[in-house]
């Protein structure tokens, strides 16, 4: 890398320093491989390019990530500091605008205003009875499983992992059941930074504005009503934006956590053995997945409040930094041997850290834990329906998620009772051995969305 410029005004990586794109074919094909390439080339902090080839810094080291997350005086959450935005390079239709443009939410504030807004969110979330949350999860998990239990096959991403968190969260915010499926699609699109992300964001906002109007007229025992009555007297805009923040965060992280855990149950022999043999509880299994495959690979972002240094790199005022959660979790400085289990260890960065650490992470854990438990209890003979190497992922700037997780099982009735068995299979048995890479039964569907899930058919969604 060349010597940094002495000009204090440039933003992003120093001139002449090679920067890899965090979007496009290379990043999407193998994000973890790219992170390790960046670590080898630049150390714990690497210059990168985000959409539109805007310069930024990706923080790869575990210690450096905590340093950024815990010191808002140096690295602020206020995106209005972003020089590229000040220079007009982040237009309203930019793919990152929905997640980077400043909003009146705790996630984009520091100091007293952050404490005011976050206090309203955390105090309202803490009013939920955890047993009540788990009852919602079991109810919707059973309904989703009933939708495919008699068919002997399913896609556990489209039919279970994706709809479950949003269906539960719509109940927690006090929305009608019908909101859930539509919000699933809009949320997925929005966080991927697609060309339609702005439109999806607008749909989510409009839907939540309608919900707020309903709750103002008829309040209930739900997150929206509790925000309305909170002593901080949040404005309507603040309430809508926090509803949006909580829904999107819960959906994206929990759906990925469920899918990643189920994939390991179906494909990793050691993981399966530890879980079924009692060496690892399901909550422990979730923590292991949060270390190895965090739901969000990166978080955008932090913005430097002044010229500083991090990981040996010269950071200029207004530079954007991305927290590299997935890279930090496998930092050799803290995990020299990735084969050693870290059951029960919550020092991972899957939910970030510092004053902006995810306030709803325990609800996300409860949804994943209970949902997976219900699924494995109802369908104990789940088997992967394709060879392991046929599974495909979609990657974006902030996440990497399975496209589909096709499975087969002994068909069962809506109450969980066994119905006519699939030819060649026996009655209910404990979870089978994890699959190897040999060909399995035919895929569940020709494409990830070729067969509409039952909840989409019910609501007339195409």
Q: pLDDT per position in the chain (462 positions), as tens?
A: 333 333 333 344 445 556 899 988 888 889 999 999 999 999 999 999 999 999 999 999 999 999 999 999 999 999 999 999 999 999 888 888 878 888 888 989 999 999 999 999 999 999 998 888 999 999 999 999 999 999 999 999 999 999 899 889 989 999 887 777 778 788 777 766 667 878 888 888 899 999 999 999 999 999 999 999 998 889 999 999 899 888 888 888 999 999 999 999 999 877 777 777 777 888 888 999 999 999 999 998 899 999 999 999 999 999 999 999 999 999 999 999 998 888 778 899 999 999 999 888 999 999 999 999 999 999 989 999 999 999 999 888 888 889 999 999 999 877 654 444 333 333 333 444 444 433 333 333 333 333 344 333 333 333
3-state secondary structure of 309: strand
* CATH tag for 96-297+349-458 (out of 3.30.70.20, 1.10.630.10, 3.90.650.10, 1.10.3210.10): 1.10.630.10
Residues near 7 by beta carbon (within 8 Å), at least 6 away in sequence: none
- How far is the C-alpha of 314 from the C-alpha of 380, rounded, in Å? 54
pTM over 0.85? The answer is no
Of the candidates 302, 294, 319, the residue with the CA atom closest to the CA atom of residue 47: 319
Q: Is 143 exposed, middle or buried (CB count within 10 Å of its CB: 0-12, 13-18, 19+)?
A: middle
Neighbours of 244 (CB within 10 A): 22
Decide if 348 contacts 116 (C-beta within 8 A).
no
Name the β-bridge partners of 50: 54
């Amino acid at each position: 890398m060349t010597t940094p410029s002495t000009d204090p005004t440039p933003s992003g990586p120093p001139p002449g320093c090679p920067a890899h794109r965090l979007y496009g074919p290379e990043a999407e094909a193998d994000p973890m491989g790219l992170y390790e390439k960046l670590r080898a080339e630049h150390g714990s902090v690497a210059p990168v390019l985000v959409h539109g080839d805007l310069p930024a810094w990706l923080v790869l080291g575990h210690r450096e990530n905590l340093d950024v997350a815990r010191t808002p005086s140096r690295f602020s959450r206020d995106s209005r500091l972003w020089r590229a935005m000040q220079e007009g390079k982040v237009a309203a239709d930019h793919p990152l605008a929905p997640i980077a443009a400043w909003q009146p939410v705790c996630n984009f504030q520091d100091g007293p205003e952050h404490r005011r807004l976050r206090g309203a969110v955390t105090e309202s979330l803490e009013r939920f009875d955890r047993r009540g949350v788990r009852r919602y999860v079991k109810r919707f998990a059973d309904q989703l499983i009933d939708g495919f239990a008699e068919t002997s096959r399913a896609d556990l991403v489209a039919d279970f992992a994706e709809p479950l968190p949003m269906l539960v969260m719509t109940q927690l915010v006090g929305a009608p059941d019908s909101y859930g499926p539509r919000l699933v699609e809009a949320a997925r699109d929005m966080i991927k930074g697609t060309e339609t992300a702005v439109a999806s964001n607008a749909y989510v906002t409009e839907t939540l504005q309608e919900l707020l109007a309903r709750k103002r007229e008829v309040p209930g025992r739900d997150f929206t009503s509790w925000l309305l009555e909170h002593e901080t007297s949040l404005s309507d805009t603040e309430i809508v934006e926090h509803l949006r923040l909580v829904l999107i965060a819960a959906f994206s992280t929990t759906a990925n956590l469920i899918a990643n855990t189920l994939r390991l149950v179906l494909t990793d022999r050691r993981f399966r053995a530890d879980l079924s043999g009692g060496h690892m509880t399901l909550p422990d299994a979730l923590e292991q997945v949060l270390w190895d495959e965090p739901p969000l690979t990166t978080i955008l972002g932090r913005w430097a409040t002044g010229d500083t240094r991090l990981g040996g790199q010269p950071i200029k005022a207004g530079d954007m930094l991305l927290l590299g959660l997935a890279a930090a979790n496998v930092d050799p400085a803290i995990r020299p041997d990735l084969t050693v289990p870290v059951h029960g260890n919550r020092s991972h960065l899957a939910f970030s850290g510092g004053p902006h650490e995810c306030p709803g992470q325990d609800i996300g854990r409860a949804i994943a834990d209970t949902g997976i438990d219900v699924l494995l209890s109802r369908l104990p003979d789940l088997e992967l329906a394709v060879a392991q190497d046929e599974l495909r992922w979609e990657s974006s700037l902030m996440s990497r998620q399975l496209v589909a997780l096709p499975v087969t099982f002994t068909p069962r009735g809506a109450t969980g009772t066994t119905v006519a068995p699939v030819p060649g299979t026996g009655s209910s048995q404990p979870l089978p051995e994890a699959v190897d890479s040999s060909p399995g039964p035919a895929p569940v569907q020709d494409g990830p969305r070729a067969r509409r899930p039952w909840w989409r058919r019910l609501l007339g969604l195409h």
